[in-house]
Amino acid sequence: MLDGQPPEKKCLVMENTKLSDEDVSRVLLEEEKRPESLSQPCYTWSEVRNESTRGSYKLFGPDTMPPIVPSTSHSVLFKLPVISGRSPDPFVGSNKDCWDSHHVRMPFSNHSLYPFDTPNGKVLKLRWELVKEALSNEITCSRELEDAILSYNTRYRQKWDFSGLHHFFEEVLDASESEYFFESVLPGMVHLALSLPSLVQSAIPLLRRRRPASISLTQKQVASLLANAFFCTFPRRNTAREPSEYSTFPDINFNRLFQGHKWKPKAQIAVEKLKCLIHYFRQVCSKDPLGVVTFARRYCPESLLPKWPEAREIVPRLHVSATGRIEDEGYGMLQVDFANKFVGGGVLGTGCVQEEIQFLIFPELIVSRLFTEALDRTEALVVSGCERYSVYKGYSETFRWAGGYDPKKLSPNSSVTARDVYGRHLTSIVAIDALNFSSPSRQYSQDALLREVNKAYVGFSCPEGVADLPAVATGNWGCGVFHGDAQLKALLQLMAAAKAKRDLVYFTFGNEKLRDDIDSLHKCLYNNKIPIGELWQHLCHYYTHCYQDGSFSSSLYTYLYSVLEEPAPANHIAQQNTSINSSSDIKMEVPSGGSAKVGSSGVEGVEEDASFTREDLDQLEESIKAYYADEQIELACVSNGGDSVPQSTGENG
């Protein structure tokens, strides 16, 4: 394996771009149905009844984001207070040049030395001097840009590939666009990059595992850091071999993105990513951004996590929609990033699904890769105040940059000038990484349930104690290549939101059936005031009661309706019967609201036939018992071949 590239295993973890045919169809369906103006009603029949309640969900306001208070656990790299309309001045720390394992090793550090060839042999020079010399020369084309970057990364001269960068500037852009970039945009990027020592005058701590901490930066400081990432100046970040110092961190230098032309058949993804990022640099170079961004690593020790079986809260209010996107209709809410444990996933590589797209349209998120170690099982990363710069079409291999972002057109809840008292945009994104279930049935085990609900809870909760929290905007978290069950993940996120005291807005990504299923079960739970502790126990019992011989005897929602002694909705019954008849994963389903008659000799209409197994008949009897429990109907045992079926022990399910 070459230096400058993450190990193959790490690449697989960071980049998951496969989509099933069904997923691709849903994406294309969403694009076809997406309305030109979101100010027009765009809900289907089951969403009309919820349209009037969308406006009542709590959004971020100037006083609802956690405060910025410098402390040992919150590094603030600018001076307070923030004056509206002005970019804050950098805070001058006592030790700006911390060259150790607890802080970002900065490109301008006096400790960053690099071997340099002279007529008298190799000598060590300050690497920052090499960077300044290379970038201060006039650069008129991508070939000269490659030479400049390699002049202070000489050991990678035979290893790094810039074919994607050359393809972009020589073949994708026309001559006038390429000329404009090198004459107008690139000099601004160079100025941003070389201004780093004056813009960042305090050490940037690494956000390490199991150490809750926050970093607040100005948007201009973020832009300078990202410009240095573009020019690949960060030392010790060009190898991810274990046990290298940064093997547990994502990559940050852009060198992998520049080789995108070799990603065939995904070469177009690299082109579209470069369009997003160059648009961002064009914007910040033409006008200084004035805001502030906070990166908060959250960690909850397992001893402080909720005791789910004892939880008495009921599920929160829910709006579920088959149309819309988290980043558009979810503006002003806590937006969920379906994250990789290496935040950003494959944003600088071939990945281009939900997380990577978020990092491309909110490029300031990328700087989190500089200092955020891989997330642990009870950790999340919350980024508050990042600004959106781009819009897009498509998904994965069909992803396309579609121009600059205009909040007035695309986010009906947004305001161009909406910021908090620190100058942060009223946008907050939480990165939570789901488990990858190579064996999908494992996600129903209690250990897996506990890990996922705790992960969501850590992301949704607010340890700063802010009251009246905004709603969570989420969707099918971990349900793509990670094989998560969207019905299950919706319930786990509802439970986490209930414990965190937030409402939930759920986007099903074009799946109308899922929308209706989640909506119906939520109404059952909400109207009957079922404690989430009781729901938790039913979820734990589902695996032990319904999984045998490699398959489930009932779908999750059908099982829940039966143990909750609620009749399943008619459309759910019809859809489930259809899907089960064609599925090899589930043996049989008995609707809890069925019309089977019970007589002294057993269940009428069910013949003792070889097509019904002992397990089928047991499941049928238990479902009927649950449905008629309130009427205390005395059921006779169902016999098969003279054997008797044991009486119920009284346990649900």
Residue positions annotated with a catalytic role:
337, 355-356
Asked whether the beta carbons of 448 and 437 are under 8 A apart, the reply is: yes
Q: What are phi and psi of 549, to 5 degrees?
A: 55, 35
Asked whether the beta carbons of 309 and 496 are under 8 A apart, the reply is: no
Alpha-carbon span 268 to 164, nearest angstrom:
9
Hunting for tokens 């479902």 — which residue is that? Answer: 623
Sequential DSSP letters for 529-598: T-BHHHHHHHHHHHHHHHEETTEESS-HHHHHHHHTT-PPPHHHHHHHHHHHHT-SSB-----TT----E
Task: Give how far Cα 284 sits from Cα of 315, 385, 427, 582, Å.
Answer: 42, 16, 18, 54
Closest CA relative to residue 203, chosen from 131, 109, 299: 109
Q: Tokens representing 404?
A: 């600059």
Closest CA relative to residue 349, chosen from 10, 1, 15, 19: 15
Alpha-carbon span 260 to 166, nearest angstrom:
10
- If DSSP codes are grouped into helix, strand and coil, which group holds residue 6? coil
Task: List the Cα angle 125/128/131 in 5-degree steps.
Answer: 105
Alpha-carbon span 55 to 90, nearest angstrom:
39
- Residue 49 has what DSSP assignment? H
Pairing of strands 504-507, 318-321: parallel
- The amino acid present at 67, given as its one-letter code, is P
Sequential DSSP letters for 595-608: ---EETTEETT---
The distance of Cα 264 from the centroid of its chain, to the nearest Å, equals 26
- If DSSP codes are grouped into helix, strand and coil, which group holds residue 317? coil
Asked whether the beta carbons of 464 and 71 are under 8 A apart, the reply is: no
Alpha-carbon span 513 to 517, nearest angstrom:
6
Q: Tokens representing 502?
A: 């937030």
Sequential DSSP letters for 479-522: -STT---HHHHHHHHHHHHHHHT--EEEE-TT-HHHHHHHHHHH
- The amino acid present at 96, given as its one-letter code, is K
Alpha-carbon span 335 to 14, nearest angstrom:
21
- Residue 87 has what DSSP assignment? P
The dihedral built from the CA positions of residue 313, 317, 321 and 327, taken in this order, carries a sign that is: negative
Instruction: Residue 382: count other Cβ atoms within 10 Å of its Cβ.
Output: 23
55 Cβ neighbours under 8 A, 6+ residues apart: none
